[in-house]
Structure 1
Amino acid sequence: MTQKRDEVKVTGVTECMRISMTSEATSFVIAFATLLFVFSLVSRKISGTVVTAPMIFVAAGLLLSPEGLDLVELSAGSSFVLLVAEVALVLTLFADASRIELRALGQKGGLQNRLLFLGLPLVIFTGTASAAVIFTDLTLPEAALLGAILAPTDAGLGQTIVNNPKLPIRARQGLNIESGLNDGGAIPFFIFFLVLASGEELNQPIGTLLSLALEQIGFGAFVGIALGLLGGWLSGRASRAGWTSELYHRIEFLALAITSWLVADGIGGSGFVAAFLAGMASGAMGRRVEEEEIIFTEAEGSILSLAVFFIFGVVTATRLSAIGFSEIVYAVLSLTAIRMVPVAISLIGTKLHRETVLFLGWFGPRGLASVVLLLIAIEEAEGIQGLETISLVVTTTVLLSVFAHGISANPASEWYSRRVAALPEDAPELGEVKELPARPEFNAPENPQGNSREKTQ
């Protein structure tokens, strides 16, 4: 009889949790869909102002949260929240990697290699060292995990800069390629430090932890490259044979991104590494993936990215009171010295002017990737003692970045464009490089795909 009552109790609790999760998801979807519709109506009107879409969706999340109007309630550990965030990052990783040609990494005069292969590791190292000094309660692996989470920049938050024709192509393309690829480049570091921090709590041998991290990265890379090459080849053959309609030719890359993620995750690999490399490999079959082909993947990713910013606002509202002076100090350093010094070091020898180095260093906004990596850490490493500190620091940094970079984008662009106009014709900033398509802005007033293609022709 007691066992039966226990079974009924467990069933009741499970049912209540299911109903609660359904209610949370329903209220979120209604609120987000309404906000998305209203924003769509005025998106062209606010384009060019200091107000950006991420700012609006984060602010709306804060307003509608339990700390505000109490219309939407979400938990950072919710499986629904994690699913939305993961899909958004998967589609973004795939689309960005598809858009950036591998040949672009080798083009003469480009700044991307310096920013990616020297700047990114230095940002992680500097962020780790700063966290270890400021937060003495963090272990070294936990400090490194924080550094890795805040290393990638958000391409969507920086598109106002990348799409501004007043700015020199060399600087714009450096930021475009860096922001498109550094989130994928930071993920292996994140995986390694997450495994290391988690294993330290469980007293696992370093050899075992290293093997587990390499296994996740290796399996993810294998699945991503294999499915990307196969998918790109099949897509090309079907397209040339006239078997695929235009509509489904666009959808197939969306399917390839999701498949790569889930297959890699299913065999113990990193789905994010798989999605990133699948996007890169899909364009390696003798042709570049055109904007029209990934427009569905890109559109879905953009919508889900806004959903993540809305979720971020809702979840952040309950944490604002816990943010202390140390978190604010680190957040300010993360957006300034921790980013700017490594960028300056990576650009030594380019002879770029001080204003250019400062401009490139400032525009490294933190956003989608950092939020998603934090949610994954919360989900997979609950035993990490410093997780609360890491969570507060990442939340503070992203919140500050969304508004600081959004508000400063247009004024800083005008300031820098005036500086560039005064430079001599042989200034290194004015060197010619091939302009690649950039991710469309959240509230772009025109069709960005069309503009990007015209520039590359």
Structure 2
Amino acid sequence: MDSFSYDLWLVIVALAILAVAWLPSLLAEHPLSYPILFVAGGWLLYQLPFALPDPLPLSHPQLTTHLTELCVIVALTGTGLKIDRKFSWRGWRIPLRLIWLTMVVTIAVFAFFAWKWANWSLATALFLAASLAPTDPVLAGDVQVGDPNEGGEDTVRFALTAEAGLNDGMAFPFVYLAIALAHTTGLPAAELPHWVLVDLLYRVGVGVLGGWLSGRLLAYLIFELPQRISIKTTAYGFVALAVTLISYGLTELLHGYGFLAVFVAAITIRNHERTHEYHTYMHAFSDQIERLLVALLLLLFGGAIAKGLLHALTGEDAVLGVVLVFLIRPLLGWLTLWKTNARGLKRWIIASFGIRGIGSMFYIAYGLQQASFAEPARIWALTGWIIVLSVFVHGMSATPVMKRLDRRLAPASSPQT
């Protein structure tokens, strides 16, 4: 990159930072989300005759993996810290059902359609399904709960927030199963016991246990140590970053699911001292870092579209993406929420807002480095198409839909509505 391109990129990043600071407030009352503007801005930016970096993820697989990975784990920390509701099996039954039932059935149905109708191989169909099924913790901010101790944590916002925090880690076993399938010529019967014992039970268990233990240890350092050693308020944000990196790094070293560990650690810390000012400062810092990474990634994503990311998209894949966003997730979500306290409009909102985004980019980038899936350009094209659909459809509908929900809840509002 020459001096002019470098300086130009500095200006672009600076403008993106300013936009991250202003746009959420400016768009709060409008049916438009800031991710839409960043994707559109990235597309326009790469139409200009400047020597900008190649934005295509296939050109930079490792960089794509690590940037999206960092963005997701920072988002998971912020997501866990802002949930006011204390964990319990009964209180969390809706998000838990969205994980073990809605997401799993969505993976199965989408993989079947991709395999039988869109002519993907079984391994690739499962890989796509596992990567695209989770609700994204990064781009779902418009339908999530507010800041810590802000109040108004209704059923819909809580369910979508907790789901986004949990399912990025819980989708990993199915990504590993797809990788195992890609390494064989048929159904890997011999690999299934290893998948169940290691990729499913062990890695999930280590993710939960590692997150809980690191959360307990860090909660002691955060809430007990300052009684003996003074920590300045300005340093609280760095603690949030430490929580993210320690819980993720240690769990990954033990071959557990770091995404799951980060969220569990944040929930554990929040449960330790629920009303402490630390939570507000730590969440604010995590949110700022997350928005900066989102701005950069969405600009590059828009640029990738401008440079041909969707060129490999087939007609069948385009329809498949529409079916996932408008039919599979909403209908399966609505069906699997049967006999819960989410009824009527609440049930439809929870079912419909399975937002796809940065997490899906990570899984695709990671999986393509672990196995030789056929047609990687087509894989990225379908992934990009579904993310575009989700960013625009959910981004434009989130504000009016949530306003309508709030009007419905206003007469009898309560934290447990």
The two structures share one fold, judged by TM-score above 0.5:
yes
Q: Which amino acid aligns with 1:295?
A: A
1:55 aligns with 2:36: yes
2:99 to 116, 139, 143: 116
Deviation sequence 1:175-205 (CA, Å, 0-9, x none): 2322333323323433x23432443379985
Listed as ranges, the gaps of 5+ residues in structure 1 are 1-18, 436-457
Following superposition, the deviation at residue 387 of structure 1 comes to: 3.6
Deviation sequence 1:292-347 (CA, Å, 0-9, x none): 23322232122212222222212233222222211211111111221112211222
Partner of 2:238: 251
2:328 to 325, 330, 338: 338
Partner of 1:173: 158
1:144 aligns with 2:117: no
SS in structure 1 of the partner of residue 29 of structure 2:
coil
Following superposition, the deviation at residue 211 of structure 1 comes to: 6.2
1:213 to 168, 189, 199: 199
**Which deviates further from its counterpart, 362-371 or 25-34?**
25-34
Question: How many corresponding residue pairs?
Answer: 405
8 Å CA contact retained: 1:96, 1:181: no
Residues 347-426 of structure 1 aligned to structure 2 (within 5 Å)? 347-350=337-340, 353-381=343-371, 383-414=372-403, 420=408
The CA distance in 2 between the partners of 1:322 and 1:179, in whole Å, is 29
8 Å CA contact retained: 2:114, 2:120: no
Q: Which amino acid aligns with 1:117?
A: W
**Which deviates further from its counterpart, 155-164 or 296-305?**
155-164
The CA distance in 2 between the partners of 1:385 and 1:67, in whole Å, is 33
Residues 177-216 of structure 1 aligned to structure 2 (within 5 Å)? 177-190=162-175, 192-200=176-184, 205-206=190-191, 207=193, 213=199
8 Å CA contact retained: 2:84, 2:274: no
The CA distance in 2 between the partners of 1:41 and 1:229, in whole Å, is 36
The CA distance in 2 between the partners of 1:219 and 1:176, in whole Å, is 22
SS in structure 1 of the partner of residue 354 of structure 2:
coil
Larger Cα-atom Rg: 1
2:76 to 77, 84, 93: 93
8 Å CA contact retained: 1:63, 1:69: no
1:126 to 106, 109, 120: 109
8 Å CA contact retained: 2:35, 2:139: yes
Question: What TM-score, normalized by structure 1, do the two folds share?
Answer: 0.75
Q: CA RMSD in A?
A: 3.6
**Which deviates further from its counterpart, 146-155 or 405-414?**
405-414
Following superposition, the deviation at residue 433 of structure 1 comes to: 4.3
Question: What TM-score, normalized by structure 2, do the two folds share?
Answer: 0.82
The CA distance in 1 between the partners of 2:87 and 2:262, in whole Å, is 20
8 Å CA contact retained: 1:227, 1:260: yes
The CA distance in 2 between the partners of 1:251 and 1:74, in whole Å, is 30
2:311 to 306, 316, 321: 321
Q: Which amino acid aligns with 2:83?
A: I
The CA distance in 2 between the partners of 1:377 and 1:410, in whole Å, is 34
Partner of 1:233: 220
